[in-house]
């Protein structure tokens, strides 16, 4: 495991996965300050403030527009990589973040709520368009010798960086740092820091060897890149392995999304990908990330303690993510995802019960906090990363890109749905709104238990036979 290989993986993770996690949680702490800005701006323009429903609608759009941008970015990533390469696609995505940071950072000075919403949508495009760090390691994993047992944790490093991004947003949102009213535009524009670092340092590393050889047929460039990443001049075995993959791909016709949906032999696999990706977002985890402070406030936690309670949940999230990352090969995919969804469902019901009883039993507020922690831990240990891994294992290479488009599109659409409707669901259903998430989690866990087989150490043909 060489320093260049580790460095580029961490750099890509820092500028993409960590930014995604940061943007999930960054609107949580300054929510009231942003709403106050919207209301004051509206009063200056039209002589009257926004009503509660209109203000909630505008803020919900600000939160959820990030996911719509992500959907657009995920559909553009193929075009960007094909035209500019992996390094070029990442660099252009980083430029988008600089633009978004400018919009959000100067929004209050220019009195424009629209700039905040536009900035959020652009950061979403960046998150959707960024390629995963594991794409750097996929052609190298079989050749890492004694470090092979570490391939999965390194390949899953983006999941850990998402947790770190969420945690960093919670820390910076503390009142002692950027949690004050005058700092919220600066807080939102912090995204330019990791993007700038990625933009400055990415050119120091060669292009992805797999991209150079398979996509560009540049054997010389791929050889030089591999020699630098592996720290050895002997890379012929790796080159031959990728050339074999190139020959197999050239003789293979890639299926479109429409062809995938019409393929009867893959119907259960396609349905499983849809259920897993929709379920991971409809489980309520986005409501927790987007509206943590609001949830804790309704649970009766003193306002002065909420930022620190939220930060504590972020720290537990990192620990849970590490546990899931290092146990997935030992435990298997299926047990982790079933346990994770069941834990999230039980904890969602627990929040409802604790909110209903907190008037009579004040200590139930701490049960609410424990249930929020349980939802986050359950998600990070299983549903956070397993659906992406299982998507690759359920399909052969010819259908895998189409499956990722189906799963990714559902993922972003459900992210938008939860972010947009949760405030209204909370206003109309009160404590019972969490029962919706409880039902989704338990139904997904039941589906996985009844339908999806364990994919660990199984070939595509074995998995296909089980489904058949």
Confidence of residue 1 (pLDDT cuts 50, 70, 90): low
Please compute the mean of the pLDDT values over residues 376-385 and round it to a whole number: 82
User: What residues contact residue 25 under an 8 Å CB cut-off, 6+ apart?
Assistant: 165, 166, 169, 170, 173, 289, 290, 292, 314
Higher-pLDDT residue of 250, 355: 355
What's the distance, CA 373 to chain centroid?
18
User: What residues contact residue 387 under an 8 Å CB cut-off, 6+ apart?
Assistant: 273, 276, 277, 280, 337, 407
Please compute the mean of the pLDDT values over residues 240-249 and round it to a whole number: 78
Confidence of residue 2 (pLDDT cuts 50, 70, 90): low
If one counts every other C-beta atom within 10 angstroms of the C-beta of residue 311, the result is 18
For 43, 58, 116, 218, the CA distances from 51, given in Å and listed in that order, are 11, 11, 20, 60
CATH code of the domain made up of 258-467: 1.20.1250.20
Residue 58, pLDDT score: 93
Residue 156, pLDDT score: 58
Token representation of residue 22: 């940061």
Helices of type H across 251-394: 257-262, 267-282, 285-290, 292-298, 306-331, 333-357, 364-381, 386-394
CA distance 373 to 380: 11
Show me where the domains of the chain are located: 1-205, 258-467
Residue 108, pLDDT score: 93
250 pLDDT exceeds 70? yes
Please compute the mean of the pLDDT values over residues 67-89 and round it to a whole number: 84
**pTM of the shown model:** 0.87
Top mean pLDDT of 132-141, 186-195, 297-306, 401-410 is at 186-195
Are 1-205 and 258-467 in the same CATH fold?
yes
CA atoms within 13 A on the CB side of 251: 5
Token representation of residue 279: 């379920």
Average pLDDT, the chain: 84
DSSP 330-362: HH-HHHHHHHHHHHHHHHHHHHHHHHHHTTT-T
Residue 132, pLDDT score: 52
Token representation of residue 88: 């070029």
Angle made by CA atoms 64, 69, 73, in degrees to the nearest 5 = 150
240 pLDDT exceeds 80? yes
Helix 3-15 crosses helix 219-230 at what angle (to 10 degrees)? 100
Please compute the mean of the pLDDT values over residues 129-143 and round it to a whole number: 54
Q: Give pLDDT tens digits for 147-183.
A: 444 444 454 566 778 888 989 999 999 989 998 889 9
Confidence of residue 345 (pLDDT cuts 50, 70, 90): very high
User: How large a percentage of the chain has pLDDT more than 90?
Assistant: 31
Among 193-202, 234-243, 279-288, 344-353, the minimum mean pLDDT is found in 234-243
Higher-pLDDT residue of 30, 215: 30
Please compute the mean of the pLDDT values over residues 186-205 and round it to a whole number: 90
CA distance 78 to 131: 10
46 pLDDT exceeds 80? yes
Q: Which CATH number fits domain 1-205: 2.60.40.10, 3.40.50.2300, 1.20.1250.20, 2.50.20.10?
A: 1.20.1250.20
Q: Give pLDDT tens digits for 5-24.
A: 777 777 877 888 889 889 98
User: What residues contact residue 85 under an 8 Å CB cut-off, 6+ apart?
Assistant: 207, 208, 211, 215, 216
Residue 172, pLDDT score: 93
Helices of type H across 106-208: 113-129, 134-137, 151-155, 157-172, 184-188, 192-201
Residue 157, pLDDT score: 65
Closest CA to 270 of 285, 258, 281: 258
141 pLDDT exceeds 70? no
Token representation of residue 180: 């004050």
């Amino acid at each position: 495991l060489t320093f260049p290989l580790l460095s580029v993986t961490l750099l890509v993770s820092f500028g993409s996965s960590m930014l995604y996690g940061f943007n999930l949680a960054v609107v949580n702490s300054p929510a009231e300050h942003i709403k106050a800005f919207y209301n004051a701006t509206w009063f200056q323009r039209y002589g009257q403030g926004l009503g509660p429903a209109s203000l909630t609608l505008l803020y919900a759009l600000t939160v959820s527009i990030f996911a719509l941008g992500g959907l657009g970015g995920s559909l553009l990533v193929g075009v960007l990589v094909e035209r500019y390469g992996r390094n070029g696609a990442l660099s252009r995505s980083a430029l988008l973040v600089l633009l978004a940071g400018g919009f959000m950072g100067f929004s209050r000075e220019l009195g424009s709520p629209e700039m905040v919403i536009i900035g959020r949508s652009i950061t979403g495009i960046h998150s959707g368009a960024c390629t995963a760090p594991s794409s750097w390691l996929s052609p190298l994993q079989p050749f890492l010798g004694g470090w092979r047992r570490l391939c999965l944790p390194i390949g899953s490093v983006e999941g850990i960086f998402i947790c770190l991004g969420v945690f960093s947003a919670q820390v910076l949102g503390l009142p002692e740092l950027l949690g004050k009213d005058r700092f919220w535009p600066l807080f939102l524009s912090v995204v330019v820091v990791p993007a700038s670092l990625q933009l400055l340092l990415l050119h120091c590393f060669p292009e992805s060897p797999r991209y150079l050889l398979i996509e560009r047929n540049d054997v010389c460039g791929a050889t030089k890149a591999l020699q630098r990443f592996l720290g050895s001049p002997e890379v012929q075995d790796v080159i031959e392995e990728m050339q074999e993959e190139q020959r197999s791909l050239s003789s293979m016709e890639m299926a479109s999304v429409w062809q995938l949906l019409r393929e009867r032999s893959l119907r259960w696999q396609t349905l499983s990908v849809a259920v897993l990706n929709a379920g991971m977002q409809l489980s309520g985890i986005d409501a927790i990330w987007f509206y943590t402070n609001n949830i804790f406030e309704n649970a009766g936690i003193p306002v002065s303690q909420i930022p620190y309670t939220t930060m504590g949940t972020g720290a537990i999230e990192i620990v849970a993510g590490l546990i899931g990352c290092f146990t997935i090969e030992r435990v298997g995919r299926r047990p982790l995802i079933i346990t994770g969804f069941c834990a999230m469902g039980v904890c969602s019901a627990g929040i409802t019960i604790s909110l209903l009883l907190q008037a009579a039993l004040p200590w139930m507020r701490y049960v609410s906090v424990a249930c929020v922690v349980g939802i986050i831990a359950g998600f990070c240990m299983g549903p956070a990363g397993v659906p992406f891994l299982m998507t690759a294992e359920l399909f052969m290479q010819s259908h895998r890109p189409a499956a990722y488009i189906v799963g990714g599109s559902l993922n972003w659409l459900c992210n938008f749905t939860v972010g947009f409707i949760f405030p209204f669901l909370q206003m109309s259903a009160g404590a019972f709104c969490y029962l919706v998430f409880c039902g989704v989690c338990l139904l997904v866990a039941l589906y996985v238990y009844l339908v999806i087989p364990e994919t660990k150490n199984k070939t595509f043909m074995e998995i296909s036979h089980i489904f058949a």
